[in-house]
């Protein structure tokens, strides 16, 4: 059997952890795994903040959509899209002066920088997930770290060109935990050969069939199908509005428009 594929296929989002701290050796193994991730141009335009402080974890559990389990995680890793360090180095190297001498445009951080840096950060985060799984440490992604930008900027002492894109809670798997893996869509709906294609209504219906059937066991709150239920639960709620507001503000800071 392929051990790496076993780790990937058996991984779950873990929200309950064994009552013991993550050792420094194991944490270092996870971080080193993250830092071996592919990175655009080998620039590593990301940073990682390790959070163990109980008060800070408690605050993050409140600001990240009020999820108490975050405070109970032994350690939290926050992955940042970070162009600040590179531009500080450019300043040290007098790159702007060099550009003038060469009659080149010196470009301030832009959306291309943001996309590359965010990609670097996400890839590093997923490397951390797999490294953690290999030593029996579970994780859960917290996308809500992009909400409440002003609070997180102050809490984590972030500069304008440093953008939180992902957060992982980490802890050892508790004994006798039952791993319940959530189903995934069939490959034929997700993977296409050579070019993208839109899915016709009949394929969309087939794709969501299992979720539609499961909807009968949920409080639908007036929704007549899974699409309506999903939109109201994920997109038509306050936390999504806050996420949108925070991201728009982050981008203004990133581009120096604030």
Domain CATH for 53: 3.40.109.10
214 lies in some domain: no
- Per-residue pLDDT tens for 127-186? 999 999 999 999 999 999 999 999 999 999 999 999 999 999 999 999 988 888 888 999
With respect to residue 247, please indicate whether it lies within any of the assigned structural domains.
no
> What's the domain range around 152?
3-182
Task: Assess if residue 248 is contained within a domain.
Answer: no
**How many other CB atoms are there within 10 angstroms of residue 44's CB atom?**
17
**Interatomic CA distance for residues 73 and 172, integer angstroms:** 9
In a domain, 216, yes or no: no
CB 14 within 8 A of CB 129: no
- pTM of this prediction? 0.93
Domain for residue 158, yes or no? yes
Residue 160 domain-assigned (yes or no): yes
Specify if 226 maps to a domain.
Answer: no
Give the tens place of pLDDT for each residue, 239-252.
899 999 999 999 99
Residue 252 lies in a domain: no
The number of distinct structural domains making up the chain is: 1
């Amino acid at each position: 059997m392929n051990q790496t594929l076993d780790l990937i296929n058996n991984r779950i989002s873990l929200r309950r952890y064994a009552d013991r701290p993550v050792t420094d050796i194991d944490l270092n193994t996870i971080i080193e795994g993250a830092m071996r991730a592919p990175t655009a141009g080998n620039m590593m335009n990301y940073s990682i903040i390790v959070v163990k402080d109980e008060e800070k974890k408690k605050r993050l559990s409140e600001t990240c959509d009020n999820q108490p389990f975050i405070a109970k995680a032994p350690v939290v890793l926050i992955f940042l899209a970070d162009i600040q360090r590179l531009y500080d180095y450019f300043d040290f190297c007098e790159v702007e002066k060099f550009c003038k001498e060469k009659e080149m445009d010196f470009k301030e951080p832009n959306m291309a920088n943001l996309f590359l840096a965010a990609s670097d950060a996400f890839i590093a985060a997923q490397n951390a997930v797999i490294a953690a799984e290999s030593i029996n440490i579970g994780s859960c992604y917290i996308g809500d770290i992009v909400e409440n930008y002003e609070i997180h900027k102050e809490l984590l002492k972030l500069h304008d060109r440093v953008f939180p894109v992902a957060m992982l809670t980490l802890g050892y798997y508790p004994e006798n935990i039952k791993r319940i893996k959530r189903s995934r869509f069939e490959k034929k709906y997700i993977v296409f050969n050579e070019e993208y294609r839109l899915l016709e209504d009949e394929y969309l219906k087939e794709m969501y069939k299992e979720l539609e059937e499961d909807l009968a066991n949920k409080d639908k709150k007036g929704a007549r199908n899974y699409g309506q239920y999903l939109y109201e639960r994920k997109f038509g709620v306050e936390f999504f509005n806050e996420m949108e507001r925070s991201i728009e503000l982050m981008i203004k800071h990133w581009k120096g428009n604030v």
